[in-house]
């Protein structure tokens, strides 16, 4: 089996969206601003790292993630969170400000690639009656962890309710395919006394655990339980020499190498949200490729590239064999409660596009095209033409770089899921037409196509679709976490 490393960043579109669902005993809602998940894979080994931020009352809550096997204490650890921000920044759509260089000055060719290199109380009698078994339990940092197995989803639903968890209506059908596939359930309860606060916000230590399984897919339907609307899912995949795309939904690439007005400098996330929504409207139910590039280089670089220490943090230290020469692929989807199937991935041909490079037709390369290497990025530019004197006989126009000849510094569009929708009119933000989207620069339509959510109807491909009866591999893995809040016990009479 080909070696594979997968990283994904899950960014909710609405405040109540989460990769699972929260439950609180009094009925109050909990919110997750963002969940970032990193999944590393090589052979049959999978390493999952997950960071959660939440807001709401600081009381104990638990997170439940379906996994294919029983995990043990040595399989679980906590991480520093910095690497998640590094991954997002590396692959994010970027805005670059360029200045035209002196047409009479010496031409300096840019370097095309700049390398930088939880314990829950158990009720054994009830659990046995309901077909629920506690397979293992241990503590890691602020987490008390228990691994559950269940014979049927109704029993699991009932057991969780008997354990004083108020589960959202409609949770049982979402649990059912994972129970039927033989999944175990990783439950991490948090001790609030050990949770760190940053600016009044609770920040949980990222969790990492690993296991062995055969297949490769991203189960996300469990996370639909308490979604109130559309969610954004960003999947970053790292794999040796290869980029990836989805196998069971349409694929599209984001229009790139667009020059934009200077007003977009402070509204870049809003501009990109408008571009993404229009792309999705033209490619219904598609998953959009935003980045595919050698992980050890970038041009221009919004920050340091991923290095060996980052890979080890994310799980390379427990992979069967060392791995390097990764291609980083970023896939972006928007979907609602009607999502029909989990995401399944396949190897895709190499592509290039979005570089500061002149194509064979004499124009800056436009869009994505096949190639032998992967050098594709969502890049947008603000350009300042040369306004100084031109004193030479043969001036060379159209040479762009940073201000005063320095290297241009790109601005990444991070946390795009939170950008204001309908805030930018695309025709007024761009300097050239986007024919693949039917957008003409400067020509505002009477009614622009409204943003749409991805509600994919899976392709009818062999081995994919909605069939969840296969008990093997990652089809059983619920990347979507089920986050639960523990109900407070009644106070004893006279308690203060």
pLDDT, averaged in runs of 10, over the chain (496 residues): 40 34 40 59 79 56 78 90 85 91 69 35 51 90 87 84 64 83 83 74 80 78 64 80 89 94 91 94 94 86 84 83 82 79 87 83 80 93 90 86 78 78 89 89 67 46 30 32 44 41
Q: What is the pLDDT of residue 10?
A: 39
If one counts every other C-beta atom within 10 angstroms of the C-beta of residue 318, the result is 17
Sign of the torsion angle spanned by Cα atoms 413, 416, 420, 426: positive
Q: What is the pLDDT of residue 446?
A: 63
Reported as a single tens digit per residue, the pLDDT across 409-441 is: 888 887 777 788 888 999 999 988 898 999 998
Q: What is the pLDDT of residue 352?
A: 94
What is the C-alpha to C-alpha distance for residues 112 and 92, in angstroms, rounded to an integer?
19
Strand 45-55 and strand 201-203: the pairing is antiparallel
Query: To 5 degrees, how large is the angle CA 417–CA 418–CA 421?
Result: 90
What is the C-alpha to C-alpha distance for residues 237 and 330, in angstroms, rounded to an integer?
6
β-strand partners of 486: 165
If one counts every other C-beta atom within 10 angstroms of the C-beta of residue 64, the result is 27
- Prediction pTM value: 0.71
Percentage helix, strand, coil for the chain under 3-state DSSP, each rounded to 5? 20, 30, 50
Per-residue CA distances from 15 to 19, 35, 259 (Å): 12, 11, 32
Please give the radius of gyration of the chain, using alpha carbons only, rounded to the nearest integer.
Answer: 24
What is the C-alpha to C-alpha distance for residues 179 and 159, in angstroms, rounded to an integer?
14
What lies within 8 Å, CB to CB, of 467 at 6+ separation is none
Reported as a single tens digit per residue, the pLDDT across 141-170 is: 888 888 889 998 888 888 777 776 555 667
What is the C-alpha to C-alpha distance for residues 143 and 249, in angstroms, rounded to an integer?
36
Phi, psi of 74 (to 5 degrees): -70, -10
Q: What is the pLDDT of residue 167?
A: 59
Domain range annotation of the chain = 5-485
What is the C-alpha to C-alpha distance for residues 239 and 316, in angstroms, rounded to an integer?
12
Residue 343, token pair as written in the block: 């995401």
Label residue 1 exposed, middle or buried (CB < 10 Å: 0-12, 13-18, 19+): exposed
If one counts every other C-beta atom within 10 angstroms of the C-beta of residue 401, the result is 16
**Among 38, 35, 424, CA closest to 231:** 35
**Among 150, 155, 332, CA closest to 233:** 332
Neighbour order of strands in the sheet with 184-190: 132-140, 143-150, 184-190, 61-67, 482-485
Label residue 240 exposed, middle or buried (CB < 10 Å: 0-12, 13-18, 19+): middle
If one counts every other C-beta atom within 10 angstroms of the C-beta of residue 352, the result is 21
Omega before residue 242 within 30° of 0, cis: no
């Amino acid at each position: 089996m080909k070696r594979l490393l997968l990283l994904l960043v899950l960014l909710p579109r609405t405040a109540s969206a989460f990769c699972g669902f929260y439950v609180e005993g009094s009925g109050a809602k909990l919110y997750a601003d963002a969940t970032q998940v990193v999944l590393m894979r090589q052979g049959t080994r999978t390493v999952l790292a997950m960071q959660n931020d939440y807001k709401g009352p600081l009381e104990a809550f638990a997170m439940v993630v379906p996994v294919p096997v029983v995990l043990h204490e040595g399989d679980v650890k906590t991480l520093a969170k910095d690497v998640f921000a590094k991954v997002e920044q590396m692959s994010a759509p970027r805005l670059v400000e360029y200045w035209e260089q002196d047409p009479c000055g010496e031409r300096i060719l840019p370097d095309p690639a700049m390398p930088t290199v939880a314990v829950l109380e158990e009720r054994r009698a009830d659990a046995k009656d309901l077909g629920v078994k506690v397979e293992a339990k241990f503590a890691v940092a602020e987490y008390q962890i228990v691994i559950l197995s269940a014979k049927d989803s109704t029993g699991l639903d009932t057991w969780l309710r008997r354990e004083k968890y108020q589960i959202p209506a409609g949770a049982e059908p979402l649990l059912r395919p994972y129970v039927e596939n033989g999944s175990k359930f990783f439950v991490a309860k948090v001790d609030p006394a050990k949770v760190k606060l940053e600016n009044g916000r609770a920040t949980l230590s990222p969790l990492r655990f690993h296991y062995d399984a055969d297949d490769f897919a991203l189960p996300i339907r469990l996370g639909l339980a308490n979604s109130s609307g559309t969610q954004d899912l960003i999947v970053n995949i790292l794999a040796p020499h290869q980029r990836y795309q989805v196998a069971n939904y349409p694929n599209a690439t984001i229009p790139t190498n667009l020059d934009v007005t200077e007003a977009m400098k402070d509204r870049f996330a809003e501009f990109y949200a408008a571009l993404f929504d229009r792309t999705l409207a033209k490619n219904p139910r598609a998953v959009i490729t935003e980045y595919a590039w050698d992980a050890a280089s970038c041009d221009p670089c919004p920050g340091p590239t991923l290095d060996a220490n980052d890979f080890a943090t994310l799980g390379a230290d427990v992979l069967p064999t060392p791995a390097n020469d990764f291609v980083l692929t970023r896939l972006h989807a928007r979907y609602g409660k009607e999502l029909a199937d989990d995401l399944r991935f396949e190897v895709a041909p190499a592509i290039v596009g979005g570089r500061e490079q002149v194509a064979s037709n004499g124009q800056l390369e436009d869009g994505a095209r096949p190639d032998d290497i992967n050098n594709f990025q969502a890049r947008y530019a603000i350009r300042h033409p040369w306004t100084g004197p031109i004193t030479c006989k043969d001036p060379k126009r159209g040479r762009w770089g940073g201000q005063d000849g320095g290297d241009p510094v790109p601005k990444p569009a991070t946390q795009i899921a939170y950008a204001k929708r309908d805030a930018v009119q695309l025709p007024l933000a761009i300097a050239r037409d986007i024919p693949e989207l039917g957008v003409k620069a400067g020509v505002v339509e009477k009614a622009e196509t409204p943003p749409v959510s991805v509600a994919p109807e899976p392709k009818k491909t062999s081995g994919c679709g909605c069939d969840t009866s296969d008990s093997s591999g990652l089809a059983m893995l619920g990347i979507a976490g089920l986050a639960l809040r523990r109900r407070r016990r009644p106070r004893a009479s006279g308690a203060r």
